[in-house]
Amino acid sequence: MSKCPILGSAFDPDQMNAIERVQAYVDELRYYRPRGFGKLAREGEEFIQGSHIGAGADFHNEWFNDCDALLTDWARRVERHDYISFGPFDPGGAVGFYVSAESAREEADLIVDDLSEVPRGFTGLVVGVTDHGNVYAYRYSRGKSRELFAVV
């Protein structure tokens, strides 16, 4: 049986003020608890409580980037693949976990229409694209598979 990837909810920072956006990131840090999250969570809470009211955009951008990097590193360790990231989907877009199906396709050892096409005993990255355009990726090791992600 294959392990399913992490699925989280996304939030739209354009619909939030600065405090709500920081709180959304603090909530993500506290929920997933990646190693080293405490410092960033405390800094975010200090901002929310007013200690960093005078902090400029550089503080905000650096703090958000640090949160994105920490959550991305955590997800890649947990999911054991490099195609998952945390941050804005597109510049100015919603924020959350996402997978890069295109990167997986570029690095695939085998691209198939159906998993039945995978040779017996295969080892490597398999990416499949259905006739509806859905993309899925599996890591194979000596014929045993582990689902990395499925984008429907």
The two structure tokens encoding residue 133: 């355009």
Question: Is residue 2 one of the residues assigned to a domain?
Answer: no
Q: Are 88 and 98 in contact (CB under 8 A)?
A: no
Question: Is residue 3 one of the residues assigned to a domain?
Answer: no
69 and 25 assigned to the same domain: yes
120 and 74 assigned to the same domain: no
Q: What is the pLDDT of residue 29?
A: 93
Domain extent, residue 130, equals 101-151
The two structure tokens encoding residue 78: 């947990």
Q: What is the pLDDT of residue 122?
A: 96
Q: What is the pLDDT of residue 103?
A: 87
40 and 113 assigned to the same domain: no
Single-letter amino acid, residue 82: D
72 and 133 assigned to the same domain: no
Q: What is the pLDDT of residue 82?
A: 86
What is the biggest distance separating any 2 CA atoms in the chain, rounded to whole angstroms? 61
Query: What's the predicted TM-score (pTM) here?
Result: 0.76
Cα separations (Å) of 65 from 12, 14, 20, 71, 117? 16, 17, 17, 10, 41
Q: State the CB neighbour count (10 A cutoff) for residue 5.
A: 19
Task: Report d(CA 63, CA 58) in Å as an integer.
Answer: 8
77 and 107 assigned to the same domain: no
Give the chain's residues under pLDDT 70. Answer: 1-8, 51-59, 92
Q: What is the pLDDT of residue 18?
A: 83
Q: What is the pLDDT of residue 4?
A: 40
The count of domains in the chain is: 2
Identify the CA nearest to 28 among candidates 61, 58, 69, 82: 69
19 and 92 assigned to the same domain: yes
Q: What is the pLDDT of residue 42?
A: 93
The two structure tokens encoding residue 48: 């929310």
